[in-house]
Structure 1
C-alpha cells in the first residue's frame, strides 16, 4: 500500500533531535550561478531538507571517539535547491563518518508541489543494507523516475530500533529534468568521460556530474572536478570543521551498492 505523508510534519518532528547540527549547514552547495537556473528558481523551493544528520552523535559506541565534530551522516546533495539529474534511475551518494557498521534505511518519495505531500515509492531496509565508513553510492534498478518529477530521498542509520527518534537521518531533494537539445548533441559527440562530466557540471546536473566524478575518482583528469564537488560539502561551516570534512571526504573509500 502506498504511503502518503506530509514532509514538513515528519521533518519538524525529527528536527527536535537535530536542531544542534542543522545550524552547521554542512550541505553540498552548487556554485552561485546554479541558483539562477530556470529549473531552480526561488518560486519553486523544495520542502525542508536536512543534508546532514544532527542531534546526538547517535550511533557512537564506547570505542568511538567523541572528539570529532563531523556529523555521522552527510548526503552528497545540493542544499536549498533541487539537485538535478537526467537519469530516471539515478545514483545517490552519502558519507558515513562512523567506523562501526550499522543497519541503514533508505526511502525515496515523490513530492507534489501543489498538495505539499509526498508518496513513498521506494524503501530499502533489509538486513544486508548496512553502513561502511566512507562514501556510499546507491544505484537503483527500480522504480523508473518520471521526467519532470520532484523527489525527496532520505537515509537513516538505525542505532536502536526501539528508539527511532535518536537515529541519525538526513534528507535531500531531487528533480529529474529532460535533456536540452544542445546538450544531447554534445554528449552524443563525445566518448571522453572528462568532457561529459564537464558538460553535466556546466548544465547544473549535480547527480550526473557527481556519479562520474566518484566512479572515476582516481582518474587524473577528473581529480580536480572530484575535489571541487566534494569540498563543497563543507561550505558555510566553521573553518576548522571545514578542513576536517574536506580531508575525510577526499581520502574516503567508496562503496557501491545496487538495489
Structure 2
C-alpha cells in the first residue's frame, strides 16, 4: 500500500515549519547550497532538500562528544537540483560519521511537481538495517522506478525511537531520465569502466557516475573522479567544514547493502 506524505508522519520536523510552508511533502525539507548543473532547467527546480543532517554528530555515545561538528549524516547527492539517473533500480549512497551502529530508516517518495505532494513508494526500517561508519551504498533490487518521474529519498538515524524529533535525517531529490540515442550508442561501444563513468559524468548522470566511482578499484583516473564527486558533496554542505568533510568522505570505508 502506498501512502501520501502528511504532517502527522514522524519524519516531519516541527522545528522546520517556520522555514518551509509550500506543500505537504515539503514540510520536512530545509534549504541547502545549490550546485551547478547545466542540464537542470532552472524553471523546473526540485523541492528544497537538505543533503546533510542538522546539528553536530547526532547519535552520540559515551566515548564520543560533540566536539566534531561534521554532520552525523550526509547524502552523496547534488544539492537543490535533481540528481539524474538512467537506472530504474538505482543505487543510493550516504556518509555516516558515527562510529557506533545505529538503526537506520530509508524512505523513497515519488514527487508530483504539480501538486507538490509526495507518495511513499519504498520504506526500509528492519532490525538488520543498521549504520556503519563510512559510506553506505544501498541498491534497490525489488523496486523499479518509472522513467520521467521525480523522487525524493530520505535517510534517518534512529538515535531514540521514543524521541523521533531528535533523529538526524536528510533528504535529496532524484529524477529518472531516458537514454539519449548518442549516449546509448557510445556506451554500447565501450567495455571500459572509466570510459563509461566519464560518459555518465559528461551527461550529468550523477547516480550512474557515483556508483561506478565508488565500487571500482582504485584506478588513478577513477579515483580522481571519485574525489571530484565527493568534493561537490562537501561543497554543498551548509557547515563551515567543507575541507574536513571532503577528507572524511575520501578516506571512508564503503559498505554495500541490497534490499
Segments of 5+ residues of structure 2 without an aligned counterpart are 21-29
Distance 1:5 1:138, change over 3 A: same
Task: State how 1:1-259 maps to structure 2 within 5 Å.
Answer: 1-5=1-5, 13=14, 15=16, 25=32, 30=35, 32=36, 34=37, 36-37=38-39, 40-55=40-55, 57-235=57-235, 241-259=241-259
Distance 1:15 1:71, change over 3 A: same
Alpha-carbon shift at residue 12 of structure 1 (Å): 5.9
Q: Give distance in 2, aligned partners of 1:95 and 1:133.
A: 7
Structure 1 runs (4+) greater than 6 angstroms displaced: 16-19
Check whether the contact 1:18–1:55 (CA below 8 A) recurs between aligned residues: no
Q: Give distance in 2, aligned partners of 1:93 and 1:64.
A: 24
User: CA offsets, 1:156-191, max 9 Å, x none?
Assistant: 000000000000000000000001000000000000
TM-score of the superposed pair, with normalisation by structure 1: 0.89
SS at match of 2:241: helix
Q: Give distance in 2, aligned partners of 1:17 and 1:95.
A: 28
SS at match of 2:223: helix
SS at match of 1:99: coil
Q: Give distance in 2, aligned partners of 1:236 and 1:108.
A: 21
Q: Which moved more, 1:58-67 or 1:201-210?
A: 58-67
User: CA offsets, 1:170-220, max 9 Å, x none?
Assistant: 000000000100000000000000000000000000000000000015222
Check whether the contact 2:57–2:68 (CA below 8 A) recurs between aligned residues: no
CA RMSD of superposed structures (Å):
2.4
SS at match of 1:123: strand
Check whether the contact 2:102–2:159 (CA below 8 A) recurs between aligned residues: yes
Q: How many residues align?
A: 248
Q: Give distance in 1, aligned partners of 2:87 and 2:214.
A: 16
Which structure: greater helix fraction?
1
TM-score of the superposed pair, with normalisation by structure 2: 0.89
